[in-house]
């Protein structure tokens, strides 16, 4: 047992799948506690897990439970996170040692989920959107730890791009500097979470899950550690009008400034305000894009698990 694994618990189905080389998809838990209101959060978490299973992989929703790094939550644990909501600690890399040492429970961000997934041996992770460089970061230096984690931790993150509340241009510049490939799944354009096109391009376009899996294998075979952003546009039927969502984001940003919201509270606040301003339309879009990402992540995990794929 390594020092890392001494703090890690795997659900029985996750442990069995990993031992047998079967496909596993990591899922984060801040989307449960901080990303959506109850009971939509719990219902969505269960739907996402079911979608992963339906497409041939084993879901591993990740959190810290009473000081234990946990890959694969029970229904009761998901329910507890959903009911507690924002009262649950939001855990990124810097917070993990404290939460574990004090035996607390916390919902993991993209960064912390990547860390725990890598410890467990899970290579593919589905989420809604990654964090990034916040608007106004030239003054505030508010940059999500997700970006640095992508530079160092070898997990592919399937997402609908970066959250559109961010400065997407600076986010792409940061990822380029850190050597993180941004792949577009059947698109040349970086999706912007609620919309299919941000106005920015991706680094490379790939047409299939098998092509993405092949590139991941080559990257890691070459010893090029670090993650990959797999940008998967929200389905056309559920995409929001770009001008409508831009107006809602501008209003939410103004509200955040007026209330002095900063740091790790910024993203949950903005998502909640955008949902309120759009009359719930953004929440519906959020749910659909997460399900869509779970489907693609499952297909990539299945391709990676194919005989001979990972050498």
Q: Which residues are catalytic?
A: 28, 163
CA distance 216 to 296: 14
Contact partners, residue 33, CB within 8 Å, separation at least 6: 41, 81, 82, 84, 85, 86, 88, 90, 107
The strand pairing partners of 89, in sequence order, are 106
**CA dihedral (233, 234, 237, 241) positive or negative:** negative
Compute the residue count for the chain. Answer: 311
- From the number of C-beta atoms within 10 Å of its C-beta (0-12, 13-18, 19+), residue 258 rates as exposed
CA distance 245 to 289: 15
Specify the pairing of strand 68-71 against strand 8-10. Answer: parallel
Q: Name which of 84, 77, 17, 20 is nearest 52 in CA terms.
A: 17
The strand pairing partners of 65, in sequence order, are 68
DSSP state of 75: H
Q: Name which of 39, 33, 113, 133 is nearest 70 in CA terms.
A: 113
CA distance 277 to 271: 10
φ and ψ of 112, to 5 deg: -65, -35
């Amino acid at each position: 047992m390594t020092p890392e694994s001494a703090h890690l618990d795997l659900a029985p189905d996750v442990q069995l799948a990993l031992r047998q080389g079967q496909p596993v998809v990591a899922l984060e838990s801040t989307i449960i506690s901080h990303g959506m209101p109850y009971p939509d959060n719990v219902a969505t978490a269960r739907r996402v897990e079911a979608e992963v299973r339906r497409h041939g992989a084993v879901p591993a929703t990740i959190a810290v439970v009473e000081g234990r790094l946990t890959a694969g939550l029970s229904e009761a644990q998901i329910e507890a996170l959903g009911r507690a909501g924002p009262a649950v600690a939001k855990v990124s890399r810097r917070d993990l040692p404290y939460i574990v040492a004090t035996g607390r429970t916390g919902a993991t961000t993209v960064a912390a989920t990547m860390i725990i997934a890598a410890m467990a041996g899970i290579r593919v992770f589905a989420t809604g959107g990654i964090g990034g460089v916040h608007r106004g970061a030239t003054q505030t230096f508010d940059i999500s730890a997700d970006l640095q984690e992508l530079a160092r931790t070898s997990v592919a993150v399937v997402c609908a791009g970066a959250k559109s509340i961010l400065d997407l241009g600076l986010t792409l510049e940061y990822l380029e500097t850190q050597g993180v490939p941004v792949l577009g799944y059947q698109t040349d354009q970086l999706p912007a979470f609620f919309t299919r096109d941000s106005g920015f391009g991706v680094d490379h376009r790939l047409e299939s899950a098998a092509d993405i899996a092949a590139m991941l294998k080559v990257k890691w075979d070459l010893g090029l550690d670090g993650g990959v952003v797999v940008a998967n546009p929200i389905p056309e039927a559920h995409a929001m009008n770009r001008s409508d969502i831009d107006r809602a984001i501008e209003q939410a940003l103004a509200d955040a400034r007026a209330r002095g919201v900063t740091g790790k509270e910024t993203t949950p606040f903005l998502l909640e305000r955008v949902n309120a301003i759009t009359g719930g339309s953004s929440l519906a879009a959020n749910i659909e894009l997460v399900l869509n990402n779970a489907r693609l992540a499952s297909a990539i995990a299945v391709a990676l698990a194919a005989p001979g794929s990972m050498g």
